[in-house]
Structure 1
């Protein structure tokens, strides 16, 4: 009787493990919305993969060895696509280096003095701020001598609501354009470095999938097309993309770009949410580039924002 119960328990665990592992393995490859439930679940994949590894210990008490192995395999298959890809072998001859900061100011609520301190401490050459407005931008620039350190900027942000995105730069900017496709402002301009090299910079901000999944997917797709059509040899895309490598649309968007986070290794260090009861669990703030090699990555927090800012150091490939 006891042997029969154990056999039944092992069978149940194996079936459950197969179902759970199959769902976990397929999830990062589903490019569907289902009312936003799928992209939200994909954002949780790093946490879920760790959870599966922990869960794999339980069937061992029932000697359900197959179930434990299946859960581990499911965790690996789910977690691998969510890792930051390390694109080895794409180094280049570099004759310039820059530091880029990307930050979501959360409806201009991030403390401007502390944000300015983080930017100054990073010795940033280019800053991409999203969810900001003119009052907030001016408050940041008044601190730590940033008005002199970053004297160039893109146009004034859109009035009414805090949809603004801006690029602040130590280098002259030209060829400013808007990037369509998002309910938030997205701006781009070409920065001319001291040696004469030019780098197109984009401050981007697709909306989140929560509550507006169609707008989110539309904006990700539009940004992917813009990147593919941009003729610039050197391009930096920075901001809150509301997507991680766990999302297939983002992987497609970033497939031709390198991530500053490569410099920190394959683990996707989370940037959201900050200042919440739960710790940050998803990496949705990015600095991506082509025609450049990542040499450093870091993140920081500023009271008043639910995002961590990211800092990327880049070696710019020579012409």
Structure 2
């Protein structure tokens, strides 16, 4: 009996060790699925511990319970005071250099971020010299301002089968200002328009529809007028990653004026140092859906890690990036942790009120967390919640964010 316990313990230990592989090494079947099930290994391990206790094998009891804790360790990170897997060495937004240097680096990063092809599926939003268009009869929201919360939402629409009326109702009732959808079809986009989504979120950008899409194309809607938009912000082996870039309120950037009528005690400015207005900051929102492992394990891993380019572009310019979508992975997957290390923080980890388990929607338990809201430095997460949308197999995720 002791030998059997030992063999089962070794199998469980090796299974859990898959989560510690270098990023990309898990891109072979069936490892992504085995890793996704690691958080549930505590169930058979506790059962084995109880069995060992009945047999008075106390050493085995302790060994099984240690493994049970190890299997649950990454899920425990969602509880407590919060958990930030982004590098501590990332410099604060805006940096400490002169404004001209910051502006130059920001320009470079934005060229990198939006260097992809122009789309023929741009509908309400167009990245052109005339600026974005908006649906007639709608009004854009004010620019995003510091210390003012705003809400975002993401949903996998299951091959376009999600209930359009339910989506629009949740957008309205939850006061969503940025919406990311995956697995879209033209029919669902039209249904969303018929239900009045354009009245709530007048700007949107869609990815191009291609035969290689994994379940459908992606899209992003916003109440804020974008400074620019693209159908594919970063090339990954999956559906296009549409993105919109929204300016922050100028109030954050401008220096308060000096009252010239009362200048006692104020040192005169050094005329050799001309005033340079700080460059404007931006937030880029992207809707992403890397391939599922069954559509190609190497492409699955490459797509997850490839999204890190959005964090790199934002950091180099002192801006902010938000990636939302069905990322087909969680913190147990090394590729997902590599994405976080590129500069992103998972909103659920930052909120630290437990994981938001999103798949499958028809089972109250067990579920796994595949859908995420990822943010770079410069945003504070004040609330995260998942909830069911009719006729899709994923739960929606909403997060309330605040510019620091």
Q: Pick one of 344, 354, 368 that aligns with 1:282.
A: 368
Cα 1:54/1:174, change in 2 over 3 Å: farther
Indicate the SS of the match to 1:36.
coil
Q: Pick one of 195, 208, 217 that aligns with 1:164.
A: 217
Q: Pick one of 36, 41, 56 that aligns with 1:48.
A: 41
Any conservation in 2 of the 1:293–1:314 contact (CA below 8 Å)? yes
CA distance in 2, matches of 1:60, 1:221: 43
Calculate the aligned-residue CA RMSD, in Å: 2.7
Indicate the SS of the match to 1:40.
helix
Q: Pick one of 191, 202, 205 that aligns with 1:154.
A: 205
Kindly report which structure 2 residues correspond to 1:16-31, keeping only aligned pairs within 5 A, or say none: 16-31=7-22
TM-score by length of 1: 0.86
Report deviation, 1:137: 1.9
**Structure 1 unpaired stretches of 5+:** 1-8
1:208 is aligned to 292
Report deviation, 1:21: 4.1
Q: Please identify which structure carries the higher strand content.
A: 1
CA distance in 2, matches of 1:117, 1:306: 18
Which contiguous aligned blocks of 4+ residues in structure 1 show a shift greater than 6 angstroms? 90-93
Structure showing greater Rg: 2
Cα 1:251/1:61, change in 2 over 3 Å: same
Moved more, 93-102 or 58-67: 93-102
Any conservation in 2 of the 1:105–1:129 contact (CA below 8 Å)? yes
Report deviation, 1:149: 1.5
Report deviation, 1:250: 0.2
Q: Give a deviation string over 1:129-168, Cα, whole Å, max 9, x none.
A: 111023312312332x431220011146426665311110
* Aligned residue-pair number: 306
Kindly report which structure 2 residues correspond to 1:240-251, keeping only aligned pairs within 5 A, or say none: 240-251=326-337
Report deviation, 1:23: 1.7
1:110 is aligned to 162
CA distance in 2, matches of 1:34, 1:25: 16
Kindly report which structure 2 residues correspond to 1:33-112, keeping only aligned pairs within 5 A, or say none: 33=26, 35-84=28-77, 86-87=82-83, 94-112=146-164
Q: Please identify which structure carries the higher helix content.
A: 1
Indicate the SS of the match to 1:96.
coil
Indicate the SS of the match to 1:217.
helix
Any conservation in 1 of the 2:389–2:395 contact (CA below 8 Å)? yes
